[in-house]
Chains A and B, each alone.
Chain A
Amino acid sequence: MATTLTINGKTHQVDLPDDVPLLWVLRDEVGLTGTKFGCGVAACGACTVHINGEAVRSCQTPLSDVDGPVTTIEGVGTPESLATIQQAWIENQVAQCGYCQSGQIMQAASLLAENSAPTDADIDDAMQGNLCRCGTYPRIRAAIHDAATKLKEA
């Protein structure tokens, strides 16, 4: 059964059982590999994308539950045209292995969309579902504050 999805502003037809999680539709079907697989059980946040602008764990979102436009890390910005939050990530040299960072950025972007000046406590709250085995948390925190400042100035 074909399903129509809007991903990063483009329409895609996918023909997969409707219990396949969005994560695996994106990665193996649509070919958008920026969204990562970490746990498959909503425990790490590596697979975070936005649906209707809200951060969700795509590993726990079956195709049948995708009820609006999807944004992935590729839709946030590109190497040639970086989003403000990505600039903040680069300036703060956040990544180590980098595997968790797509999810971290997607989670942080949704925080900033709701809260233009998050406190440390807000960041703790919003980001605690996103695991980083390399321990980049202090720089993620700094990058979020930085991005908030940049967005205000823009």
Chain B
Amino acid sequence: MSLKSERRGIHVDQSDLLCKKGCGYYGNPTWQGFCSKCWREEYQKGRQKQIQEDRELAERLQREEEEAYASSQGAQGTQPSLTFSKFEEKKTNEKTRKVTTVKKFFSASSRTVPKKENQETKAPSPSINRQVSIETEQVSKEFIEFLKPCQKAGHDVYKQCKICLEAMQQKREASIEEQSEYVQDFYHNTAEKLQLRWKMPSEKVEDVMDHIEKFIMTRSYKHVFCPETTDDEKKDLTVQRRIRALHWVTSQMLCVPVNEDIPEVSDMVVKAITDIIEMDSKRVPRDKLACITRCSKHIFNAIKITKNEPASADDFLPTLIYIVLKANPPRLQSNIQYITRFCNPSRLMTGEDGYYFTNLCCAMAFIEKLDAQSLNLSQEEFDRYMSGQSSPKKQDAENWPPDACLGVKQMYKNLDLLSQLNERQERIVHEARKLEKDLIDWTDGVTKEVQDIVEKYPLDIKPKPQPLAAIDSENVENDKLPPPLQPQVYAG
């Protein structure tokens, strides 16, 4: 439950979200800041020509592709990679250039992954070319196997996919928006065709579309992820630096409803961080989405354990922001762009994955625009933390660099605990001494008081007055009684 006192004004300037053409609608980064309408106008002419060319290309390739499919069905799918060998040659130059930039990017700015397992799944590595071709071949095989039971429809889908890939190859120099538009149109038309022409039930269509996405995007990934024609890479670095500069942000400032002192919760937090970092290693948009969804599920678990009630958006978004800040996921901007451009749209629009993805987009937008007000800090405080002049008073080892080793963190946490214990021990000893002194003082005090009183009122016992004996003398019969006891004085 959010507290009213924490609510502040609008921190993202609305004009940043409007269409660049100034038509009053909202723009979208995917459309280079235009709204969908203006963007469409901008690109319509170029596209028209392109569509015509695609059609001609498609016709030319049709026979060739049918043959390829026929022979691949006989030979268990070894053929497709052959069909593509000619492309592999053509793009060699381009590829080597690209790989070096990717490597450079990674050595300069990549951060260490907290868990070892992640290292293995990390895609970018010097041997990427080899791995990719094996993986690509595997995906092709699986795709053909998957399509076989669909018979005629399967044959058609395969053919269309090859045409799509050829067209993508032709478009390599075109803008990324154009390539995205082409793939999105392809998804849309294929889904429609499966439903209308091949009368597939909608669940089956979804399934086929997932496989199509996997097939197309495994092959296109290299060329359309963080393409050189865009400034995605530059933006990635900006975001990464921004997150690093915000290392001092605590979970309290964001009102994150997660208590990391509970071991199960901190476990979930680590898992969520691992998931979001892993996203970068996947090539298929849907697999990337799956990482975001897993991350979100871990966040929900952490909230559920802490609060014992289902998480609402007001719990979830701040926690996701916190996780993104802690994880500093590699190439965040590029991954978001890539998913937006090349994911099957039905998933992004209404599905559960789409919801979590949208929240990730929100988290990034929030982080980019984050200011003093959004953390309930004064401008001076914010500036001091930003410039590193001081850091917020930390409860625990809160402002570690994001890549600090977990063991070391734990060690420092333990040291911290030990020094706290030591402090308490000293306090106890001190108190004990004080108690001892108090006791002594008290005895002394009592003794002194007693002495004073004794001095003031000395114990003075006087001898028994005589007249008492005369009372007895009046009794005559008393002669027979033993003599009365004489009072005796005892020395004190």
Tell me if chain B binds chain A. no
Interface of A toward B, CB cutoff 8 Å: none
